[in-house]
C-alpha cells in the first residue's frame, strides 16, 4: 500500500496535489510520502514483536537526510556501506549505537571514523578486513564489535546483479570456512566477536531462499557456541521484494518474513537485526516527469520525457519495470495508446519502457513512475551534464523540498581549470 491516489481526477501524494508540487518545484523530481515510510517501517517492527530486535534501514536504497531523520525518530537503526553514509546517518541524528557498517571494501580511514564516532558493529567480510580492523582499533585504544558475514551459497532467485549469497559472489566468507575464521577473529585483540551476518540478495519474492539461509545460520550459531563463541546477535540482512508491476502475485508480507525468522532462528535467543531498504522506501516514492514531445517513429510512437536514465537508471541497468501512470486520471474505459517511453539522454539505453499502453498523452502532460523511492535518487548521476533532480517529502497536507535542484552554475563551478591551461 502507498499514499499516491487519484482524487477528483488528479494524482495526489497524501493530501497534496502532485500537479501543484510540479508547478512549484519544476520537473522532473522525486516525491516521497512520509505516511508510507512510517507504515512500512512499522510493518517490519511489528513483524519481529516479542523478539529482541532492531530494524536497520538499508541506507543505500535512499540516503536523503529527511528520510533518515523520519525513520530514526521511529527508532530505526541504519545499515551503512561507506563512511559517507555513516556521516550522513549521524548528521540525521542517528546515534552510533544504532549504525551497522557493512560493505566489502572498508578503508582504514573509514574504520577510524566509525570507531571514533560510535558504531553498533562492523559486518566484516574477509580475513584481511579483520586484520586491518583489529590493528586500527588497537591503535585507537578501542575494541571493535564485529559480526562476520558468511556466504551460505543460497540462490536468491533474483536478478544476477543483486544476488549476493551464492558462492561466486564477492560477499562474505564461505560458510564452510566460518569456524576457522571465527577462531582467528577471537584471537585478535582489537576485535569482539558478537554475532553472525548474512545477506543473500535483493528483491526476493520467495521466502524459500531466506528459510534455507537462516537454517544454515542457525546451525552455524549452535556450532560456534559449542566452541565457546558468544554468539548473541544475528544480522539477517534485508532483501524482501516489492511489487513493481501490478499483478496478483504480490511478494510475501513482512509478517510472513518475520514468521520465517521465528521458525528458523527464534530458538537461539539472539538479538535479531534486519536491514530492509527497498520495501520501506520503494513504494513510498514516485518520480514525476513531463512529456516534452510525442514523436511518431517508423513503426511506433515515442513518448519523450524530461526525465532520463541518469535520473532513474534501474530500467537501463536491470531491465527493471516501473508502472508509469498519468498525473491526470484517465477516463474510465478510455482507449489507450502504445508508446516507447524514453528520455532525452543520447543513449538508446535511455528507455524506460517499450510497447507500454498509456492513456493518450501530449506535450506538457505529467506522468509518474511508481515504486521509485528506492534505488532512484541514490543511483542518479549528472550524465550528459544534467543536474541532479530535486527530492520532495509530503507529510499530510504539507510538502517540502528536501534536496534542491542544483543550478547549472553549481554544476559547472565544481570543476577547476588548472592555471597552466
Q: What angle do CA 295, 296, 302 make, to 5 degrees?
A: 50
| Residue of 28, 23, 21, 3 whose CA lies nearest to 13 | 3
Q: For the chain, first and last CA: distance in Å?
A: 56
Strands 398-403 and 53-58, bridge-based pairing: unpaired
Spatial neighbors of 314 by CB under 8 A, at least 6 apart, are: 320, 322, 375, 376, 379
- Report d(CA 389, CA 88) in Å as an integer: 19
Q: Is 296 exposed, middle or buried (0-12, 13-18, 19+ CB in 10 A)?
A: exposed
270 is catalytic: no
Q: Is 165 helix (H, G, I), strand (E, B) or coil?
A: coil
Centre a 10 Å sphere on the Cβ of residue 329 and count the other Cβ atoms it contains.
15
Residue with cell 550459531: 221
Cell of 226: 559449542
Q: Which of 331, 346, 417, 421 is catalytic?
A: 346
> Which long-range contacts link 222-230 to residues 24+ away (Cβ below 8 Å)?
222/268, 223/179, 224/178, 224/179, 224/182, 224/196, 227/179, 227/182, 227/183, 229/182, 229/186, 229/193, 230/193, 230/194
**Alpha-carbon separation of residue 77 from 20, 192, 382 (angstroms):** 34, 20, 30
| Residue of 264, 153, 157, 262 whose CA lies nearest to 214 | 264
Q: Where are the beta strands (DSSP E) in 14-104?
A: 16-17, 29-33, 53-58, 77-80, 99-101
- Report d(CA 376, CA 327) in Å as an integer: 19
Residues assigned a catalytic role: 346
Amino acid at each position: 500500500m502507498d499514499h499516491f491516489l487519484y482524487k477528483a481526477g488528479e494524482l495526489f501524494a497524501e493530501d497534496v496535489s502532485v500537479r501543484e508540487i510540479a508547478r512549484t518545484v519544476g520537473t522532473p523530481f522525486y516525491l516521497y510520502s512520509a505516511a508510507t515510510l512510517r507504515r512500512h517501517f512499522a510493518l517490519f517492527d511489528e513483524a519481529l514483536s516479542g523478539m529482541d530486535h532492531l530494524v536497520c534501514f538499508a541506507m543505500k536504497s535512499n540516503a536523503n537526510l529527511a528520510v533518515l531523520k523520519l525513520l530514526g525518530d521511529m527508532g530505526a537503526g541504519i545499515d551503512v556501506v561507506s563512511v559517507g553514509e555513516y556521516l550522513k546517518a549521524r548528521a540525521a541524528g542517528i546515534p552510533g549505537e544504532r549504525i551497522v557498517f557493512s560493505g566489502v571494501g572498508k578503508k582504514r580511514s573509514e574504520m577510524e571514523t566509525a570507531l571514533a564516532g560510535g558504531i553498533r558493529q562492523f559486518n566484516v567480510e574477509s580475513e584481511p578486513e579483520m586484520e586491518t580492523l583489529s590493528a586500527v582499533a588497537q591503535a585507537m585504544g578501542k575494541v571493535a564489535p564485529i559480526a562476520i558475514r558468511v556466504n551460505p551459497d543460497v540462490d536468491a532467485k533474483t536478478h544476477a546483479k543483486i544476488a549476493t549469497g551464492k558462492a561466486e559472489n564477492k560477499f562474505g566468507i564461505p560458510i564452510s570456512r566460518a569456524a576457522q575464521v571465527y577462531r582467528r577473529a577471537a584471537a585478535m585483540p582489537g576485535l569482539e566477536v558478537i554475532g553472525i551476518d548474512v545477506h543473500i540478495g535483493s528483491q526476493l519474492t520467495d521466502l524459500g531462499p531466506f528459510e534455507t539461509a537462516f537454517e544454515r545460520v542457525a546451525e552455524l550459531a549452535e556450532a560456534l557456541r559449542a566452541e565457546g563463541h558468544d554468539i548473541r546477535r544475528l544480522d539477517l540482512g534485508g532483501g524482501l521484494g516489492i511489487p513493481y508491476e501490478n499483478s496478483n502475485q504480490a511478494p510475501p508480507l513482512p509478517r510472513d518474513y518475520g514468521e520465517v525468522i521465528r521458525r528458523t532462528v527464534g530458538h537461539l535467543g539472539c538479538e535479531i537485526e534486519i536491514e530492509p531498504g527497498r520495501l520501506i522506501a520503494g513504494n513510498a516514492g514516485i518520480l514525476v516527469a513531463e512529456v516534452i514531445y510525442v514523436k511518431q517513429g517508423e513503426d511506433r510512437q515515442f513518448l519523450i520525457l524530461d526525465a532520463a536514465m541518469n535520473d532513474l537508471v534501474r530500467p537501463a541497468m536491470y531491465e527493471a519495470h516501473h508502472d508509469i501512470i498519468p498525473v491526470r486520471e484517465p477516463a474510465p474505459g478510455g482507449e489507450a495508446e502504445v508508446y516507447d517511453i524514453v528520455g532525452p539522454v543520447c543513449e538508446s539505453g535511455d528507455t524506460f519502457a517499450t510497447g507500454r499502453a498509456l492513456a493518450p498523452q501530449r506535450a506538457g502532460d505529467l506522468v509518474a513512475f511508481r515504486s521509485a523511492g528506492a534505488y532512484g535518487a541514490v543511483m542518479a548521476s549528472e550524465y550528459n551534464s544534467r543536474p541532479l533532480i530535486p527530492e520532495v517529502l509530503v507529510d499530510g497536507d504539507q510538502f517540502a523540498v528536501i534536496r534542491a535542484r542544483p543550478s547549472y552554475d553549481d554544476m559547472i563551478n565544481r570543476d577547476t581549470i588548472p592555471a597552466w591551461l
